[in-house]
């Protein structure tokens, strides 16, 4: 199975002017399809840094979504950075250009104005269809201004209302065969008053015994119900999780640990 990555572009995210809404939603969209996010990166509106980040993404072999910076204003650099990362020229994509023209005709009709394709601002809008040579479009159901894909790296706008349906479309149209391939089950138990360092040998032993199973610990020092505790558990394929969890739980008896509720997450 390939890994999934996410790049979120924009000074407004890093400065706090806007709160990121992409990370949680992409995790949700992947999870609904039995897939998981392996990594995420935030990068500001610096073309050289975006180019370096995209160069790594193209070379990784991962399936990567990049959100933001594909407009045509001076602070939008993602299209140019993608072309530089690939060492390809930008070219006006014919289908993307026609969709932009459709959008301009729609807006003119809504405003009761004539469509003027040669007006300078309308000509400038065609820049939003300038993609790295060889790119494929990602349809935008919100306003027809397409995103684009090059291989397994997919570029969508920064606006969540546009980006999220476009990510869903890519997952369903390009990667349906992968759906369910990363579906995991988690089983965990609340361990009262324990220290992670004390339980580490048990955690390491369970991981060594069960290939493909990950052991996790989530400590808390001030939980309103359980106070100081660790949520200790295992996650992995459904056919191995139950056995690994019983081994983990049995091992806790040797530490005299006080156990609280158990949890199962799919």
Collapse the DSSP code of 19 into the 3-class scheme (helix H, G, I; strand E, B; otherwise coil) and give the result: coil
Query: What pLDDT score does 129 carry?
Result: 96
With bands split at pLDDT 50, 70 and 90, how would you rate the model's confidence at 106?
very high
With bands split at pLDDT 50, 70 and 90, how would you rate the model's confidence at 144?
very high
Query: What pLDDT score does 198 carry?
Result: 87
Q: Are residues 109 and 196 in the same domain?
A: no
- pLDDT (mean) for 90-110: 95
Query: What pLDDT score does 248 carry?
Result: 94
- Which is more confidently placed, 194 or 26? 26
Q: Are residues 142 and 202 in the same domain?
A: no
- Of 91, 90, 94, nearest to 81 by C-alpha is 90
DSSP 29-75: HHHHTT--EEEEEEE-S-HHHHHHHHHHHHHH--EEEEES--SSSTT
pLDDT at 254 over 90: no
Q: Are residues 11 and 43 in the same domain?
A: yes
Q: Are residues 145 and 196 in the same domain?
A: no
Query: What pLDDT score does 205 carry?
Result: 95
pTM, rounded to two decimals: 0.86
Last residue of a domain, one of 132, 163, 178: 178
Query: What pLDDT score does 62 carry?
Result: 98
Query: What pLDDT score does 181 carry?
Result: 83
pLDDT at 197 over 90: no
Q: How many structural domains are present in the chain?
A: 2
Q: Are residues 118 and 159 in the same domain?
A: yes
Q: Are residues 57 and 122 in the same domain?
A: yes
Q: Are residues 154 and 86 in the same domain?
A: yes
Question: Judging by beta carbons within 10 Å of its beta carbon (0-12, 13-18, 19+), is residue 66 exposed, middle or buried?
Answer: buried
The C-alpha atoms of residue 82 and residue 164 are separated, in whole angstroms, by: 20
Q: Are residues 143 and 202 in the same domain?
A: no
The C-alpha atoms of residue 208 and residue 214 are separated, in whole angstroms, by: 10
DSSP 155-221: EE-S-HHHHHHHHHHHHHHHSGGGTTTT--EEEEEEEET--HHHHHHHHHHHHHHSTT-EEEEEEEE
Angle made by CA atoms 190, 35, 261, in degrees to the nearest 5: 10
What percent helix, strand, coil does the chain show, rounded to 5?
Answer: 45, 25, 30
pLDDT at 228 over 90: no
Q: Are residues 51 and 79 in the same domain?
A: yes
Q: Are residues 60 and 135 in the same domain?
A: yes
The C-alpha atoms of residue 163 and residue 156 are separated, in whole angstroms, by: 5
Q: Are residues 160 and 204 in the same domain?
A: no
Distance of alpha carbon 59 from the chain centroid: 17
CATH number at residue 260: 3.30.70.2860
Domain housing 112: 4-178
Query: What pLDDT score does 1 carry?
Result: 85
String of b and e for 85-108 (b: at least 16 CB within 10 Å)?
bbeeebeebeebbebbbebbeeeb
Angle made by CA atoms 183, 184, 190, in degrees to the nearest 5: 155
Query: Do strands 63-67 and 153-156 pair parallel, antiparallel, or not at all (unpaired)?
Result: parallel
The C-alpha atoms of residue 157 and residue 67 are separated, in whole angstroms, by: 5
201-210 pLDDT, tens digit each:
999 999 999 9
Q: Are residues 28 and 154 in the same domain?
A: yes
- CB neighbours of 142 closer than 8 A, spacing ≥ 6? 159, 161, 162, 165
With bands split at pLDDT 50, 70 and 90, how would you rate the model's confidence at 222?
confident
Last residue of a domain, one of 122, 150, 178: 178
Query: What pLDDT score does 225 carry?
Result: 83
Q: Where is mean pLDDT largest: 38-42, 70-74, 179-183, 238-242?
A: 38-42
CATH number at residue 86: 3.40.980.10
With bands split at pLDDT 50, 70 and 90, how would you rate the model's confidence at 54?
very high
- pLDDT (mean) for 240-266: 91
Last residue of a domain, one of 123, 154, 178: 178
- Of 134, 21, 8, 136, nearest to 65 by C-alpha is 8
pLDDT at 52 over 90: yes
- pLDDT (mean) for 100-104: 95
Kindly report the average pLDDT of the chain as a whole number.
94
- pLDDT (mean) for 78-84: 98
pLDDT at 184 over 90: no
Query: What pLDDT score does 183 carry?
Result: 82
Query: What pLDDT score does 140 carry?
Result: 97
């Amino acid at each position: 199975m390939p890994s999934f990555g996410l790049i979120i572009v924009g000074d407004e995210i890093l400065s706090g002017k806007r709160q990121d809404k992409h990370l949680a939603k992409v995790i949700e969209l992947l999870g609904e399809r039995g897939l998981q996010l392996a990594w995420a990166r935030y990068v500001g509106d610096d073309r050289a840094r975006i180019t370096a980040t995209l160069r790594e993404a193209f070379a990784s072999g991962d399936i990567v979504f990049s959100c933001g910076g594909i407009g045509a204003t001076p602070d939008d650099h993602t299209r140019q950075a993608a072309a530089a990362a690939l060492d390809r020229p930008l070219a006006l994509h014919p289908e993307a250009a026609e969709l932009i023209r459709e959008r301009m005709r729609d807006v003119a009709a809504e405003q009761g104005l004539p469509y003027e394709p040669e007006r300078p601002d309308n000509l400038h809008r065609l820049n939003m269809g300038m993609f790295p040579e060889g790119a494929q479009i990602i349809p935008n159901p919100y306003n027809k201004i397409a995103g684009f894909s090059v291989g397994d790296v997919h570029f969508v706008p920064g606006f969540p209302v546009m980006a999220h349906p476009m990510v869903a479309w890519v997952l369903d149209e390009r990667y349906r065969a992968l759906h369910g391939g990363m579906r995991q089950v988690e089983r965990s138990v609340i361990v009262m008053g324990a220290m992670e360092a004390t339980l580490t040998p048990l955690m390491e032993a369970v991981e060594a015994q069960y290939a493909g199973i990950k052991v996790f610990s989530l400590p808390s020092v001030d939980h309103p119900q359980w106070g100081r505790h660790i949520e200790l558990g295992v996650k992995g394929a459904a056919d191995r999780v139950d056995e690994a969890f019983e081994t983990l739980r049995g091992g806790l008896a040797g530490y005299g640990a006080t156990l609280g509720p158990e949890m199962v997450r799919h």
